[in-house]
């Protein structure tokens, strides 16, 4: 497994590989890896000759400085895990590498409202930072395929929009959420959960499944959302939102004719840790 910190070294290596017509898959991460990240890497390994993973805790997507400071960093363990599944290349840039002072890396495009709802409403500026770092990493790595997890559902829609608007030559592959044995969506933030709250955090997935059953039974969307918020409001648990949306544009679905893709998205504080999850209620990705 090759480790690169400098853009020039990484690009020299990848250019040589591309000359040999080898496809490049890319998995961007912020570290604190878990089985969900490895699932993305394994998918890329199965579909490409070269797989690149990056580890970079991006400061521009944190709207809360204390959240950035608390974000878990486990580089040694991360590298062991990536080597263990056979990842070919790991890119480990510094902040100055991604955001050099002599380069304007800001991205200003119209996301068609995708960045204004759900996470966008709760975390102002978050998706501007996501777009900025993803565009920069794609320009550096220049992969054929970009692998993203379904768990960050809104984020993958925004990245797809970014790629379409900027006409970047990369295809997005969305991989289903990896879950713990009890159903909790795997997340780097799970490491920060209070041990007493961890078993109860499965509440998110149970509520999402309940919403799916209620929608299938014909219950109106507003009533399902109200029920879900009541389920998620418990001691030590405080929901920010539970929204059932059109999976293509994140707008409320037409109650008269449900769209082909309907997704429930939620964000819940479990003590001092903010968890997000989603579930496709109708259709498939």
DSSP H helices, the chain, are 7-19, 35-47, 65-70, 75-85, 95-98, 119-122, 126-141, 153-166, 203-216, 221-232
Which CA distances in Å does 246 have to 9, 18, 200, 257, 261? 43, 38, 29, 11, 6
Contacts of 4 (CB under 8 A, 6+ apart): 10, 13, 89, 90, 91, 92
d(CA 31, CA 71): 9
Contacts of 262 (CB under 8 A, 6+ apart): 215, 244, 245, 246, 247, 253, 280, 281, 282, 283
Select which of 34, 37, 126, 144 is catalytic: 37
| C-alpha neighbours within 13 Å on the C-beta side of residue 135 | 22
Is there a contact between 184 and 36 (Cβ–Cβ < 8 Å)? no
Is there a contact between 183 and 127 (Cβ–Cβ < 8 Å)? no
Q: Nearest Cα to 34, choosing from 71, 75, 81, 72?
A: 81
Contacts of 160 (CB under 8 A, 6+ apart): 172
The torsion angles phi and psi of 12, rounded to 5 degrees, stand at -60, -45
Is there a contact between 268 and 279 (Cβ–Cβ < 8 Å)? no
d(CA 119, CA 125): 10
Annotated catalytic, 37? yes
Q: Which residues are catalytic?
A: 37
């Amino acid at each position: 497994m090759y480790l690169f910190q400098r853009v020039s070294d990484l690009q020299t290596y990848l250019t040589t590989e591309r000359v040999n017509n080898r496809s490049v898959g890319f998995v961007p991460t912020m570290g604190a890896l878990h089985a969900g990240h490895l699932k993305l890497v394994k998918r890329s390994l199965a579909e490409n000759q070269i797989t690149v993973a990056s580890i970079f805790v991006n400061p521009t997507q944190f709207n809360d400085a204390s959240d950035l400071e608390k974000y878990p960093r486990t580089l040694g363990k991360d590298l062991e895990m990536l080597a263990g599944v056979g990842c070919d290349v790991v890119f480990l840039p510094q902040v100055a590498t991604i955001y050099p002072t002599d380069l304007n890396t800001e991205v200003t495009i119209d996301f068609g409202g995708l960045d204004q709802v759900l996470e966008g409403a709760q975390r102002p500026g978050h998706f501007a930072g996501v777009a900025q770092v993803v565009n920069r990493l794609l320009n550096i790595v220049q992969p054929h395929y970009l692998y993203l997890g379904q768990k960050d559902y809104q984020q993958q829609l925004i990245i797809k929009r970014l790629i379409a608007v900027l006409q970047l030559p990369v295809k997005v592959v969305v991989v289903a959420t990896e879950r713990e044995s009890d159903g909790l969506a795997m997340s780097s933030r799970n490491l920060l959960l209070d041990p007493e709250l961890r078993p109860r955090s499965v509440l998110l997935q149970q509520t999402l499944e309940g919403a799916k059953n209620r929608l299938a039974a014909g219950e109106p969307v507003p009533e399902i959302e109200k029920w879900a918020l009541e389920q998620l409001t418990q001691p030590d648990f405080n929901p920010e939102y539970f929204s059932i949306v059109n999976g293509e544009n994140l707008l409320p679905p037409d109650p008269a004719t449900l769209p082909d893709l309907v997704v429930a998205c939620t964000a819940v504080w479990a003590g001092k840790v903010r968890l997000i999850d989603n579930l496709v209620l109708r259709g498939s990705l």
